[in-house]
């Protein structure tokens, strides 16, 4: 079942308009015995994360925060400071790889690795356009929200391995937060899955395509869809440890939380993982509620805007720009809202978001059953 | 994907599962054992995928890695003395151990060869497994499903009762 998306034949690498055409052609690419195509498929999200974290993630966040605080941000390296992150990367590469003497060497080293793999694994099921998806699992959505569990173990390994009180407290807070917010997030996504009737990410996207553009998105298909949408957005902020839920790395209390002791490339890997999961949750919310790679522009009479902006490349453009939009909102909130207290965080999760998620679940079920 | 690749990937995951499971048992450091369980669970999930049971594979990751392993790690981390405690693995009962191992493996192999219905079925799975699981849970297995949910609810209430803020005792202090 799982490998049904990967055919045994190797069709020529053409500009196919069919579903999963590119990824299937790539999966069939084999040089003598070595399955090169499978390696390339896995490398595409990796390159994507690296590029976007480099350009949009770090530089964008610094610029956005600067503009919100009426500053200019990085301006020295290159025009408008666009080469600033490259300079930062060079600096991080040259730094000494420090492992504290008292740290648990093995867990300290393996922690960032597990963390990054955890945030990276979900990219396997994100459809980057109609023609490209890593693996069109029929449990894609369930996989995407379940695989975050690996990140939790990575955070614990990093926090424990550092052998530092701040790190351990940061790790414990972070894990408690992620595990708690998984519940409203999962129930909210379940509402989307109920509207679709499938868990396959590609099928969920296909079900939201139509000539009226955004009107086919699940967010606008049901009068209650805004509630799970909002709940998932809030919960996803907490799951990625972003403000106003960045208690695990509260600078005023915990220095930097679970990555206090990290420097150099290990620090960079942790940041890459954070930006990776930021895009992951943004892509998931876009796919489930905002049509994924579907164009939001409707056909208006002779102006066939939807038809003009649909296709494999346009699909990748739409999903990436929707993802970037949500990342922008995440950054915007980070520089606007103050941080919550730990008890407020748990109050919000268990006494506000979870009951409302259940309400949304029941209402969506009623709507799906009784309204044609 | 050709057959050789498929088999290679299978053996990689099988090796990961077996070696990490062995590490869980033989490691003298409890926290390493707990972290090693991650790879065991993950390898087991991958083996489920090879059996076309992808729903169970993901459930394995969600329940065991996301729930049980995290609970285990929390337990180990908050119990400081557990790190210093010497695990008593010096005493080895070699003969009873080997007998037990031989009996278990022999019994399993005997069952495997005599029951013999381990061939892949002629009917290939069609459509989504998730839908089938949903239908079966809500029709044929609805009673066990509901009983499990009542059991979990009872456990939840019990846990909340044990962990709740005790007003009476707090006032006395």
Q: Does residue A108 carry a pLDDT above 90?
A: no
Does the beta carbon of B31 lie under 8 angstroms from any beta carbon of chain A? yes
d(CA B20, CA B22): 5
Does the beta carbon of B130 lie under 8 angstroms from any beta carbon of chain A? yes
| DSSP character at residue B87 | P
Hey, are the CB atoms on B66 and A179 less than 8 Å from each other? yes
Question: What pLDDT sits at residue B117?
Answer: 67
Q: Is A67 inside any structural domain?
A: no
- Percentage of the residues of chain A whose pLDDT score is greater than 70: 93
Q: What is the pLDDT of residues A33-60, one digit of tens each?
A: 677 777 777 777 778 777 777 777 788 8
Q: Is A110 inside any structural domain?
A: yes
A18 to chain B nearest CA, in Å?
19
Question: What pLDDT sits at residue B172?
Answer: 59
Does the beta carbon of A148 lie under 8 angstroms from any beta carbon of chain B? yes
Domain count, chain A: 1
Question: What pLDDT sits at residue A12?
Answer: 40
Which residue pairs, CB below 8 angstroms and at least 24 apart, start in A40-47?
A41/A134, A42/A124, A42/A134, A44/A128, A44/A132, A44/A134, A45/A120, A45/A123, A45/A124, A45/A126, A45/A128, A45/A134, A46/A120
B156 contact residues in A (CB cutoff 8 A)? none
Residue with tokens 């972003």: A242
Sequence-distant (6+) residues with CB within 8 A of B103 are none
B55 contact residues in A (CB cutoff 8 A)? 139, 142
Assign 3-state DSSP to chain B and report helix, strand, coil percentages, each to 5.
75, 0, 25
**Quick one: which of A129, A241, A135 has its CA closest to A178?**
A241
Question: What pLDDT sits at residue A128?
Answer: 82
The vertex-B117 CA angle with B115 and B118, nearest 5°, equals 110
Q: Is A56 inside any structural domain?
A: no
Hey, are the CB atoms on B66 and A114 less than 8 Å from each other? no
Hey, are the CB atoms on B54 and A199 less than 8 Å from each other? no
Please compute the mean of the pLDDT values over residues A217-230 and round it to a whole number. Answer: 86
Question: What pLDDT sits at residue A16?
Answer: 45
Q: Which of A318-332, B28-42, B147-161 shows the highest mean pLDDT?
A: B147-161
What does each C-alpha distance from B93 to A26, B90, B107 come to in angstroms?
54, 10, 21
Q: What is the pLDDT of residues B96-105, one digit of tens each?
A: 888 999 999 9
Between A339 and A15, the more confident residue is A339
A152 contact residues in B (CB cutoff 8 A)? 65-66, 70
Between B65 and A26, the more confident residue is B65
Question: What pLDDT sits at residue B168?
Answer: 64
What does each C-alpha distance from A251 to A126, A165, A257, A274, B38 come to in angstroms?
33, 14, 8, 17, 30
For residue A300, the cross-strand partners are A303
B1 contact residues in A (CB cutoff 8 A)? 3, 6, 8, 27, 35, 38
Question: Contact at 8 Å (CB) between A236 and A357?
Answer: no
The vertex-A223 CA angle with A192 and A316, nearest 5°, equals 45
> What was the ipTM of the complex prediction?
0.75
Question: Contact at 8 Å (CB) between A246 and A240?
Answer: no
Find the residue in A nearest to B76 (Cα). Answer: A160
Of A258-272, A294-308, A334-348, give the lowest mean pLDDT range. A294-308
Q: Is A5 inside any structural domain?
A: no
B32 contact residues in A (CB cutoff 8 A)? 106
Question: Contact at 8 Å (CB) between A166 and A261?
Answer: no
d(CA A265, CA A248): 21
d(CA A281, CA A267): 21
Of A112-126, A155-169, A251-265, B116-130, give the lowest mean pLDDT range. B116-130
Residue B152: pLDDT band (50, 70, 90) is very high
d(CA A296, CA A365): 26
B128 contact residues in A (CB cutoff 8 A)? 138, 198-200
Of A23-32, A110-119, A192-201, B44-53, give the lowest mean pLDDT range. A23-32
Question: Contact at 8 Å (CB) between A123 and A45?
Answer: yes
Q: Does residue A230 carry a pLDDT above 80?
A: yes
Please compute the mean of the pLDDT values over residues B26-39 and round it to a whole number. Answer: 82
Task: Tokens for B100, please give them.
Answer: 């037990």
B52 to chain A nearest CA, in Å?
5
Between B90 and A7, the more confident residue is B90
Q: Is A60 inside any structural domain?
A: no
Please compute the mean of the pLDDT values over residues B66-80 and round it to a whole number. Answer: 80
Between A297 and B68, the more confident residue is B68
Sequence-distant (6+) residues with CB within 8 A of A270 are A112, A115, A116, A158, A259, A262
A157 contact residues in B (CB cutoff 8 A)? 35
Please compute the mean of the pLDDT values over residues B20-48 and round it to a whole number. Answer: 86
Burial of residue A248 (number of CB atoms within 10 Å: 0-12, 13-18, 19+)? buried
Task: Tokens for A196, please give them.
Answer: 């679709």
How many beta-carbon pairs under 8 angstroms link A with B? 91
Q: Is A221 inside any structural domain?
A: yes
Find the residue in B nearest to A153 (Cα). Answer: B70
Does the beta carbon of A33 lie under 8 angstroms from any beta carbon of chain B? yes
Residue with tokens 């998932």: A232
**Half-sphere exposure in the Cβ direction for A8 (13 Å, CA):** 5
Residue A182: pLDDT band (50, 70, 90) is confident
**Quick one: which of A314, A290, A295, A316 has its CA closest to A306?**
A295
Hey, are the CB atoms on B55 and A182 less than 8 Å from each other? no
Of A25-39, A75-89, B29-43, B79-93, give the lowest mean pLDDT range. B79-93
The vertex-A323 CA angle with A319 and A327, nearest 5°, equals 170
Question: What pLDDT sits at residue B84?
Answer: 60
Task: Tokens for A28, please give them.
Answer: 């069939």
Please compute the mean of the pLDDT values over residues A4-21 and round it to a whole number. Answer: 47
Residue B31: pLDDT band (50, 70, 90) is confident
Does the beta carbon of B4 lie under 8 angstroms from any beta carbon of chain A? yes
Q: What is the pLDDT of residues A250-269, one digit of tens each?
A: 666 777 777 777 877 888 88
Q: Is A15 inside any structural domain?
A: no
Largest CA distance in chain A: 70
Of A25-29, A138-142, A156-160, give the lowest mean pLDDT range. A25-29
Q: Does residue A247 carry a pLDDT above 50?
A: yes
User: In terms of residue numbers, what domain contains A189?
Assistant: 97-370
Question: Contact at 8 Å (CB) between B70 and A152?
Answer: yes
- For chain A, give the mean pLDDT: 80
A361 to chain B nearest CA, in Å?
16
Q: Does residue B111 carry a pLDDT above 50?
A: yes
Find the residue in B nearest to A200 (Cα). Answer: B128
Q: Does residue B166 carry a pLDDT above 80?
A: no
Q: Is A209 inside any structural domain?
A: yes
């Amino acid at each position: 079942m799982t490998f049904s998306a990967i055919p045994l034949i190797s069709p020529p690498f053409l500009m196919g308009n069919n579903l999963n055409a590119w990824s299937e052609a790539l999966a069939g690419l084999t040089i003598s015995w070595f399955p090169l195509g499978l390696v390339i498929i896995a490398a595409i999200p990796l390159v994507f994360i690296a590029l976007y974290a480099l350009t949009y993630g770090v530089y964008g966040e610094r610029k956005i925060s600067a503009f919100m605080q009426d500053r200019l941000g990085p301006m020295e390296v290159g025009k408008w400071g666009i080469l600033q992150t490259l300079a930062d990367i060079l600096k991080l590469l040259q730094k000494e790889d420090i492992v504290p003497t008292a740290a648990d060497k093995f867990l300290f080293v393996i922690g960032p690795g597990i963390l990054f793999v955890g945030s990276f694994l979900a990219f396997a099921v994100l459809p980057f356009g109609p023609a490209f998806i890593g693996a069109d699992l029929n449990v894609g959505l369930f996989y995407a929200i379940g695989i975050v569990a690996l990140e939790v173990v990575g955070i614990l390994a990093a926090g424990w391995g550092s052998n530092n009180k701040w790190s351990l407290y940061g790790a414990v807070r972070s894990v408690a937060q992620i595990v708690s917010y998984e519940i409203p997030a999962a129930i909210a996504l379940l509402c989307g899955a109920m509207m679709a009737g499938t868990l396959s990410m590609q099928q969920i996207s296909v079900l939201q395509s139509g000539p009226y553009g955004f009107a086919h998105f699940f967010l606008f298909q049901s009068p209650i869809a805004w509630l799970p949408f909002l709940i998932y957005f809030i919960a996803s902020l907490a799951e990625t440890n972003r403000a106003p839920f960045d208690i695990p790395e509260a600078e005023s209390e915990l220095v930097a939380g679970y990555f206090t002791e990290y420097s150099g490339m290990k620090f960079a890997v942790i940041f890459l993982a954070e930006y990776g999961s930021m895009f992951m949750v943004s892509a998931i919310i876009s796919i489930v509620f905002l049509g994924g790679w579907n164009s939001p522009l409707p056909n208006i009479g002779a102006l066939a805007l939807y038809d003009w902006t649909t296709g494999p490349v346009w699909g990748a453009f739409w999903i990436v720009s929707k993802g970037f939009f949500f990342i922008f909102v995440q950054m915007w909130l980070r520089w606007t809202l103050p941080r919550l207290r730990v008890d407020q965080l748990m109050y919000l999760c268990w006494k506000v978001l979870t009951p409302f998620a259940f309400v949304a679940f029941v209402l969506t079920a009623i709507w799906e059953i009784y309204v044609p | 994907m050709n057959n050789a690749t498929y088999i290679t990937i299978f053996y990689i995951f099988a090796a990961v599962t077996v070696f990490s499971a062995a590490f869980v048992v033989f490691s003298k450091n409890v926290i390493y054992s707990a972290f090693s369980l991650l790879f065991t669970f993950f390898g087991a999930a991958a083996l489920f995928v090879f059996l076309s049971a992808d729903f169970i594979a993901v459930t394995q990751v969600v329940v065991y890695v996301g729930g049980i392993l995290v609970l285990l790690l929390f337990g180990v981390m908050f119990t400081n003395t557990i790190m210093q405690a010497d695990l008593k693995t010096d005493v080895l009962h070699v003969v009873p151990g080997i007998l037990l191992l031989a009996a278990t493996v022999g019994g399993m192999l005997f069952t495997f060869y005599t029951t013999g219905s381990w061939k892949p079925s002629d009917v290939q799975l069609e459509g989504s497994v998730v839908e089938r699981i949903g239908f079966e849970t809500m029709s044929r297995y609805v009673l066990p499903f509901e009983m499990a949910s009542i059991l979990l609810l009872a456990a939840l209430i019990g846990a909340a009762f044990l962990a709740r803020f005790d007003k009476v005792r707090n006032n006395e202090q």
